[in-house]
Amino acid sequence: MKNLKIGILGATGAVGQQMITVLEERNFPVEELRLFASARSAGTKISAFGKEWTVEETDAGRFRGLDLMLGAAENNIAEKYLPLAAEMGVQVVDNSSAFRLDPEIPLVIPEVNPEDVKLSKGLIANPNCATIIALTAVMPLHKAAHIKRMIVSTYQAVSGAGKEGIDELENEVKELAEGKPVQEPRIFQYQIAYNLIPQIGGFNELGYSSEEMKMQNEGRKMLHDEKLLVNCTCVRVPIIRSHSESITLEFDKEITPEEAKELLKNAPGVKLYDEPDEKIYPMPLLTSDQDLVYVGRVRRDLSAPAEIYNKSLTLFCCADQVRKGAATNAVQIAELLFR
Ligand code: A2P
| 232 included as an active-site residue | no
| 142 included as an active-site residue | no
CB 200 within 8 A of CB 87: no
Residues with CB under 6 Å of ligand 1 are 10-14, 16, 37-38, 40-41, 58, 73, 77, 162-164
pLDDT for 63: 98
| Phi, psi of 156, rounded to the nearest 5 degrees | -105, 135
Q: Residue whose CA is closest, atom 10 of ligand 1?
A: 13
Q: Go through 280-303 and write b for each residue having 16 or more CB atoms within 10 A of its CB, e for each that does not.
A: ebbbbeebbeebbbbbbbbeebee
Closest alpha carbon to 114 in 5, 1, 7, 268: 268
pLDDT for 2: 84
Distance 280 CA to ligand 1 centre (A): 38
Strand blocks (E) in 166-268: 229-236, 243-251
Q: pLDDT for 201-228, tens place per residue? A: 999 999 999 999 999 999 999 999 999 9
Indicate if the pLDDT at residue 171 is higher than 90: yes
Closest alpha carbon to 213 in 152, 165, 160, 162: 152
pLDDT for 339: 81
Closest alpha carbon to 54 in 39, 41, 64, 44: 44
pLDDT for 187: 98
Note the maximum CA span of the chain. Answer: 64
Indicate if the pLDDT at residue 181 is higher than 80: yes
What number does the ligand 1 atom closest to the CA of 40 have? Answer: 3
- Do β-strands 91-94 and 68-71 pair in parallel, antiparallel, or remain unpaired? parallel
Q: What percent of the chain is predicted at pLDDT more than 90?
A: 99
What number does the ligand 1 atom closest to the CA of 10 have? Answer: 14
Indicate if the pLDDT at residue 114 is higher than 80: yes
What number does the ligand 1 atom closest to the CA of 39 have? Answer: 3
Q: pLDDT for 130-170, tens place per residue? A: 999 999 999 999 999 999 999 999 999 999 998 899 999 99
Distance between CA 98 and CA 79 in Å, rounded? 7
Mean pLDDT, residues 63-80? 98
> Of 142, 232, 243, 317, which one is the catalytic site residue?
243
Indicate if the pLDDT at residue 59 is higher than 90: yes
Q: Residue whose CA is closest, atom 24 of ligand 1?
A: 38
Distance 10 CA to ligand 1 centre (A): 5
Mean pLDDT, residues 176-188? 97
Distance 314 CA to ligand 1 centre (A): 38
pLDDT tier, 64 (very low <50, low <70, confident <90, very high otherwise): very high
Indicate if the pLDDT at residue 1 is higher than 90: no
Mean pLDDT, residues 309-321? 98
Q: pLDDT for 21-34, tens place per residue? A: 999 999 999 999 99
pTM over 0.75: yes
pLDDT for 224: 98
pLDDT tier, 190 (very low <50, low <70, confident <90, very high otherwise): very high
**Beta-carbon contacts of residue 234 (< 8 Å; ≥ 6 apart):** 130, 154, 156, 198, 199, 200, 201, 209, 211, 212, 215
